[in-house]
């Protein structure tokens, strides 16, 4: 998903993956610390992008691209992401907070 886009907001990534915000945040943080991703903060939002300046990632990124193309999943993912990108970050974040509160209430 990040291979096809310059950058995505954490809330967009979380929505795309369908996981809890805390889980996404933890894993994104690990990838930033490992040098795989770069991030920037703009107001309340944190945006992530692949660290294309890290030459050691080139073979990995090429391999991932090949695997995605062979699987046929790229087209499905692209369609799902297009829908997510139409939703403002504020609305996505609100939806995710409500979903998280609902899940905690059920526990």
pLDDT tens digits along 2-57: 667 789 999 999 999 998 888 999 999 999 999 999 999 999 999 999 998 989 99
Q: Does 49 or 102 have the greater pLDDT score?
A: 49
Query: Which fold, 8-102?
Result: Arc Repressor Mutant, subunit A (1.10.10)
Mean pLDDT over 82-90 rounds to 92
Q: Write down the pLDDT at residue 34.
A: 94
Cα torsion through 92, 95, 96, 102, rounded to 10:
180
Q: Per-domain residue ranges for the chain?
A: 8-102
Which two structure tokens, joined as six digits, stand for 102? 């609902």
- What pTM value is reported for the model? 0.81
């Amino acid at each position: 998903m990040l291979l096809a886009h310059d950058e995505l907001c954490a809330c967009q990534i979380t929505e795309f993956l369908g996981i809890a915000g805390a889980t996404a945040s933890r894993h994104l943080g690990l990838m930033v610390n490992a040098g795989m991703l770069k991030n920037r903060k703009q107001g309340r939002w944190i945006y992530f992008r692949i660290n294309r300046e890290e030459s050691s990632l080139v073979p990995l990124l090429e391999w991932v691209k090949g695997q995605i193309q062979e699987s046929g999943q790229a087209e499905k993912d692209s369609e799902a992401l297009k829908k997510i990108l139409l939703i403002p970050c504020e609305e996505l974040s609100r939806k995710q907070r409500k979903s998280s509160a609902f899940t905690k209430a059920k526990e």
